[in-house]
């Protein structure tokens, strides 16, 4: 089997930047004091990553496309039935079960980032959309923000355990391909990483984040106490 390019550079960069920024979000919210502003900035960055990935899931290279790794229930069940077979079929892209785990992870991060926009730290800092909503909505958003992260942690633990399980039990080493992009496979590789397209998509994503965070939110009336 030949080694072929499967994960383009933008998808790999997205993956490791997501790992880095989620770790940063945890540290700035739970472990450090007086860094809420950095938690906000990192949150906007994470929101940008998710928007990038959504567009890249439509306009990216083959294996990054949602249409390539979203399978129907029958394929998922058939694959799930072979999960504990050592010699189950290897997939160049995400397998039918893993594809849905990817969708779940992306959705949870999206809920986390969007709910953050409505949050307040009750001291100095309000998220950009705090002023747009009633207290009841703030409550819902806080509830989501405080609890969805715990679900995300469980799914991430499962994700990492699955990578370990594939490496040890099935002798399918998936992690190196998320670093160098290449896999030995009979399926077709991708011709290139489409870096120019990725730069354009990254700029569009940054523009959308800027609009959502800086331009669209309602003006906040400053309150002064003398």
- Measured over the CA atoms of residue 23, residue 25, residue 28 and residue 31, the dihedral's sign is negative
| Inter-residue contact 112 to 149 (CB < 8 Å) | yes
* Distance (Å, whole) CA 14 – CA 4: 20
**146, 154, 184, 191: residue in contact with ligand HEM (rule CB under 6 A):** 146
Any alpha helices (H) in 70-117, and if so which ranges?
A: 73-81, 96-116
Per-residue interface string for the shown chain with ligand HEM, residues 193-222, x marking contact by CB under 6 A: ------------------------------
119 part of the interface to ligand HEM, by CB under 6 A: yes
Instruction: Give the total of residues touching ligand HEM (CB under 6 A).
Output: 42
Q: Which residue has the tokens 């472990």?
A: 31
Per-residue interface string for the shown chain with ligand HEM, residues 80-99, x marking contact by CB under 6 A: --------------x---x-
| Inter-residue contact 94 to 105 (CB < 8 Å) | no
* Distance (Å, whole) CA 134 – CA 123: 18
Quick one: 163 or 208, whose CB is closer to ligand HEM? 163
Quick one: 22 or 201, whose CB is closer to ligand HEM? 22
Smallest gap from residue 226 Cβ to ligand HEM (A):
27
Query: Which stretch, 71-79, 174-182, 186-194, 215-223, contacts ligand HEM (CB under 6 A)?
Result: 174-182
**22, 138, 141, 209: residue in contact with ligand HEM (rule CB under 6 A):** 22
* Distance (Å, whole) CA 95 – CA 134: 43
| Inter-residue contact 52 to 91 (CB < 8 Å) | no
Residues in the chain: 226
Chain positions contacting ligand HEM, by CB under 6 A:
11, 14-15, 18-19, 22, 25-26, 29-30, 39-40, 43-44, 46, 53, 64, 94, 98, 102, 105-106, 109, 112-113, 116-117, 119-122, 127, 145-146, 149, 156, 159-160, 163, 174-175, 178
């Amino acid at each position: 089997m030949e080694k072929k390019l499967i994960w383009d550079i933008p998808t790999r960069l997205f993956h490791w930047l997501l790992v880095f920024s989620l770790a940063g979000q945890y540290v700035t919210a739970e472990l450090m004091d007086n860094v809420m502003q950095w938690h906000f900035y990192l949150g906007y960055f994470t929101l940008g990553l998710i928007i990038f990935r959504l567009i890249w899931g439509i306009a990216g290279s083959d294996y990054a496309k949602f249409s390539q790794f979203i399978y129907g229930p029958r394929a998922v069940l058939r694959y799930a039935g072979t999960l504990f077979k050592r010699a189950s079929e290897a997939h160049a892209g995400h397998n039918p079960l893993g594809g849905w785990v990817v969708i779940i992870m992306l959705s949870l991060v999206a809920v986390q980032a969007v709910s953050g926009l409505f949050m307040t730290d009750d001291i100095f800092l309000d998220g950009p959309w705090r002023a747009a909503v009633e207290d009841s909505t703030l409550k819902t958003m806080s509830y989501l923000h405080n609890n969805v992260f715990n679900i995300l942690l469980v799914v991430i633990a499962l994700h990492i355990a699955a990578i370990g399980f594939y490496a040890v039990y099935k002798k399918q080493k998936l992690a190196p391909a998320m670093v160098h992009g290449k896999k030995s496979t009979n399926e077709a590789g991708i011709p290139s990483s489409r870096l120019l397209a990725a730069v354009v998509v990254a700029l569009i994503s940054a523009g959308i984040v800027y609009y959502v965070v800086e331009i669209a939110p309602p003006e906040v009336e400053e309150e002064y106490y003398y």
